[in-house]
Amino acid sequence: MNHEPVVAIAGVTGAVGAEFIATMDRRAFPVRRLKALASARSAGKTIDFRGERIVIEELTEKSFEGVDIALFSAGAGISRKFSPAAVKAGAVVIDNSSAFRMDPNVPLVIPEINAGRIREHKGIIAVPNCSAITALVPLWPIHKANRITRVILSTYQAASGGGAAVMQDLVESTRAYLDGRPFAPKVIQHPYAFNLFSHNTAIDPETGYNDEETKVIKETRKIFEDDKIAIGVTCVRVPVLRAHCEAITFECEKPITEHEVRAILSKAPGVRIVDDRAKNYFPMPIDASGQDDVLVGRIRQDLSDASGHSISMFVSADQLLKGAALNAIQIAELLPQRAMA
């Protein structure tokens, strides 16, 4: 891998595409040349990148000649269609969609947890679901110290998880609500302003779980390499523009105290404790937005478990950063090291 790779961004005009660029700048990620790729309707437009105007090109199967790293965030269908061409051209694909996450031949990577899997890639590396990342970054160091056997979590997911169009739907519907005007949702099927609803993915008629919930269950087991971990998930959209929150209760093999959890998380990479009981100040989307770390607070013993094996906590993370773009760039940063090892 070249120390200054040629990088292509597929889906450069989307919310995550913009964060790819901002994150590379902020972390001084070396780029010899950037290829900005999007749909035909965006071709010919330009974006700013390190003082240059980059012309957006239409994404085709021929877009990846000379590309070292291809960052994908344009949906699962686009990833399935164009990733093989990128790999054939010699690029390493880092994919933010769900297309390859459960493929046994594709590493599913959160660098704070399983960076070693990067070296096993066969051309494609998958970024996990944003809700899974938000939960697993703080759960992993606890799991290493005292195996987690069961997790129950409820998500409070921001519009950013659905992309720029969903964020705009929330903004416009909120303005209409405050003005007393009717508003017909353009992207989300339910009224979004001052409302919350089950995550807008398909419901499995047999299990009653939606796709987002099923992703969290399956991806957790793959990343933790533990098919026996019991997981229950409820995923909900809330009228917040950016940064997801989750209420998590987990059960460990051995008894565990809130003090032990704080001690573990205080040293955990990618985690920042925000847990001020006196001021009733805990993780909030407004504080997590624009931050790299997963904020963790409300750490307390689960009083419903008299055995002392369970802890409850509340977390928040920026879906566009650690839940997507940042995680992908962290993977890209490790590629040269792994290649030269």
pLDDT digits (tens, 9 = 90+) for 148-172: 999 999 999 999 998 889 999 999 9
> Are 264 and 166 within 8 A, CB to CB?
no
What are 323's two structure tokens?
Answer: 């839940």
Residue 1: per-residue pLDDT: 52
DSSP state of 119: G
Task: Determine the Cα–Cα distance for residues 266 and 249; give it in Å rounded to an integer.
Answer: 19
Q: Identity (one letter) of the amino acid at 174? A: T
What pLDDT band is residue 336 in, cutting at 50, 70 and 90? low
Tell me the catalytic residues. 130, 244
> Are 334 and 115 within 8 A, CB to CB?
yes
Picking from 92, 15, 67, the residue whose alpha carbon sits closest to that of residue 334 is 92
Q: Is 13 annotated as a binding residue?
A: yes
What are 15's two structure tokens?
Answer: 């919310």
Options 3.30.390.50, 3.30.70.1050, 3.40.50.720, 3.40.630.40; which CATH number does 6-127+324-340 get?
3.40.50.720
Global pTM value: 0.94
Picking from 243, 291, 257, the residue whose alpha carbon sits closest to that of residue 271 is 291
Average pLDDT in the 261-268 region? Answer: 98
Percent of the chain with pLDDT over 90: 94
Task: Determine the Cα–Cα distance for residues 260 and 141; give it in Å rounded to an integer.
Answer: 11
Q: Where are the domains of the chain?
A: 6-127+324-340, 132-319
In terms of C-beta density within 10 A (0-12 exposed, 13-18 middle, 19 or more buried), how is residue 240 classed? buried
Q: Is 249 annotated as a binding residue?
A: no
Range 132-319 has CATH code 3.30.360.10: yes
Picking from 202, 227, 228, the residue whose alpha carbon sits closest to that of residue 214 is 202
Q: Is 160 annotated as a binding residue?
A: yes
Q: Is 291 annotated as a binding residue?
A: no
In terms of C-beta density within 10 A (0-12 exposed, 13-18 middle, 19 or more buried), how is residue 322 classed? buried
Is the per-residue pLDDT at 339 higher than 50? Answer: no
> Tokens 């035909």 label which residue?
40
What are 201's two structure tokens?
Answer: 């993915």
Task: Determine the Cα–Cα distance for residues 268 and 239; give it in Å rounded to an integer.
Answer: 30
Residue 164: per-residue pLDDT: 87
Residue 337: per-residue pLDDT: 44
Q: Is 312 annotated as a binding residue?
A: no
Is the per-residue pLDDT at 341 higher than 50? Answer: no
Task: Determine the Cα–Cα distance for residues 155 and 248; give it in Å rounded to an integer.
Answer: 9
